[in-house]
Amino acid sequence: MTAARPRPGYIESRMELSSQETDQRYAAVRQYSLARILAVWAAAAVPMGLLAWVVAPWLRDRLGGDDPFVQALLICLTVGLVWQFVLVLILVRHELGGLKWPRVRDALWLRAPRDPKTGRVGGRIWWWALLFVLLFGVWSAVPGIPGPSPRDFPDLIDSERGEDFFRGAWGWYAVVVVFAVFNTVLGEELLFRGLLLPRMRRVFGRGDWVANGTLFALYHLHQPWVIVNTLVDGIFLLAYPSRRFQSAWMGIIVHSTQSLFILIVILGLVAK
């Protein structure tokens, strides 16, 4: 028995449909120049650096409590991440002339992932996120360059200082929840994978995901010790799946596993 052959023109038709979907997703965004890409990057990176290294020490001297420096860092970095969300809204509103959800969803690639080979959207394609989540978890276990405490957040929550700070501190846990949401959903990922990545094709071509991940790593002026490790996960585990499947949700899902883990650990400290 011979295998059934595809109908004439079937493969070409599927490729054409896939190409049309690709063009439709890019048609919803305005391509940026290199200068504009770098300007948006600076608008996110510079405030975070200033808040971490200049404003936080200044604020520490004006706060009370048992550990004012940790308080100042949490406040400042959360403000910086909220600013990134506001920045995205400003730029998208300027681009679209409004913030109607259907257009914002397309402009920020908040669409279900799409298989670049078959053109299939959603469904089983979501399972690809699980693969990158697992790889992200493996890479997160690789030792990185240690940062100064308490600026190195994982080191803080693993220390007696962090345990003492968070014990029973439900108010500060609420701040951490806001920090986490704006870190991996409404802040960094929405800016880098939702706004910038779709708009970098004209300048960087097929290497746009590499450039995007590199910019994301260099953005960490507030935590320069993580730049080397973030260069790997930023390129291959956040930017690549978002670009391949043309969906910012891929980066959001993968990155948010880190936030979820931290929230669970800190909840254990708070509940003690």
- What does the pLDDT profile of the chain (272 residues) look like in tens digits? 444 455 545 444 444 444 555 567 887 788 999 999 999 999 999 999 999 999 999 998 888 777 899 899 999 999 999 999 999 999 999 999 999 999 999 999 999 999 888 888 888 999 999 999 999 989 888 887 887 878 788 888 888 888 888 888 899 999 999 999 999 889 899 999 999 999 999 999 999 999 999 999 999 999 999 999 999 999 999 999 999 999 999 999 999 998 898 899 889 888 87
What is the residue extent of each domain of the chain?
Answer: 29-270
Residues 227, 216: Cα–Cα separation, whole Å: 9
DSSP-based three-state secondary structure for 121: strand
pLDDT score at 16 = 45
Task: Identify the burial level of 169 via C-beta atoms within 10 angstroms of its C-beta, where 0-12 means exposed, 13-18 middle and 19 or more buried.
Answer: buried
Cα-flanking dihedrals φ and ψ of residue 271, to 5°?
-80, -5
Counting beta carbons within 10 angstroms of the beta carbon of residue 170, is it exposed (0 to 12), middle (13 to 18) or buried (19 or more)? exposed
Structure tokens at 162: 């962090």
Q: How far is C-alpha 87 from the chain's CA centre?
A: 14
pTM of the model: 0.86
Output the pLDDT for position 149. Answer: 78
